[in-house]
Amino acid sequence: GSRGPKLVPHESCNKYVTCDGRGQNEIATVMQCESGFAYDVVAQICYFEGGVDCLGREAEDMGEAVPSQCLSELNPSDPICGCETYLWNSVTLVPDSCYGSADVDFQCSKDAVITNDLEIGIGDGIRPGRAPDDFTETAANTGLGYHDAPWLVSDSNPDGEYPYKFPLNKTALIMIDFQRDFVCPGGFGETLGNTVEDLQKALQPARNVLKAARALGMPIIHTLESHKSDLSDLLDNKFTRGELPDFLRIGEELDLGRILIRGSCGNNIVDMVAPQPGEYVVFKPGKGAFFKTHFYDLLKDLDITHIMVAGVTTEVCMQSSVREATDRGFEPLIISDATMSYFERYRQQTIEQLVAQGALVAWSAESSTVVKALGRACGSSE
């Protein structure tokens, strides 16, 4: 049954994209909403489908893309969550003035690729690796050290590293839940008492890898923890979990709209790592990306065998997705500085567990290492 009212579709739904600037015989596309959901071009709830001849259409018949105001009104000076954006064809276009000063300089491109056989390994700081020289049992018990795979140490592999070998043409970048609900002021995460700046630390590293992946034409899949407006995909145990007041339950209204509801302002990916044309968005009702989604089928259709994973939070949605991926035969690499938690010790402990015992669940490497490895597709040694 329904736990909340359905949202009323925006008046721009089921109208035509403007024909202005088109020839009279060109085709405009029709914006349509998923039944019961509000219009929100960033969340791709109204999507573009079908066509109509522009000939004879008046301006008042057309729906137009408009600037997004949902967060700039809240905090326009916030460089991550308040930067002005413009929307067109269900994609957020971020002005260059908002971001880019810290972006990595990545020169390799899809057309310049000379090899698909890549690896992150010896000398790159890949995890797993051997325990540090000052490793002690006390450190192991307190989580201050790590004991990944000491048996890997040999004369030819003095660092005890276990390379992550990946075919570029079968590798996808997965961006887990970089949504305003968790990363921005006024969202669900902050309302629970968490410090959103802790998660924002992952954005620039994730953006750097995203830039490299886009240049190489890698498949990119973004996920959102998201529920239908009538909550028909929300399990009872998730709805009732935790000692929360009623106003903090999924579906209730906060500053950024209804909590974890598709189409709400908060249930959109932050502009800094927002999807671009040709990238995929998976709405997931659970913690893991595979539960009740088309994520597995999408990976298979794309012929993906390896995934590089960034996202939040490390110990919940990122970890769940990585474990699910391993159990389904995929080879995951965690981008360690592109995933964050509200609690730094949780991030560290989760990564330690996943890479332990010879990458029992996953490998990990920092974003700079990943970008460097991707550059080798063009023959670069740097």
Backbone angles phi, psi at 375, to 5 degrees: -65, -25
**Which residue is associated with the tokens 């939040």?**
312
Q: What is the dihedral of CA 294, 297, 300, 304, to 10 degrees?
A: 10
CA distance readout (Å), 67 to 9, 63, 72, 92, 168: 18, 13, 10, 9, 36
Backbone angles phi, psi at 335, to 5 degrees: -85, 100
Taken as a whole, the chain contains a residue count of 382
Helix, strand or coil for residue 335? strand
Catalytic residues: 177, 284, 317
- Residues in CB range of 139: below 8 A, 6 or more apart: 145
**Which residue is associated with the tokens 């990458």?**
359
Question: CB–CB of 333/362 below 8 Å?
Answer: yes
Cβ count near 246 (within 10 Å)? 6
Question: CB–CB of 297/88 below 8 Å?
Answer: no
First-to-final CA distance of the chain: 56
Question: CB–CB of 208/367 below 8 Å?
Answer: yes
- Closest by alpha carbon to 365, among 309, 288, 299, 305? 309
Amino acid at 90: S
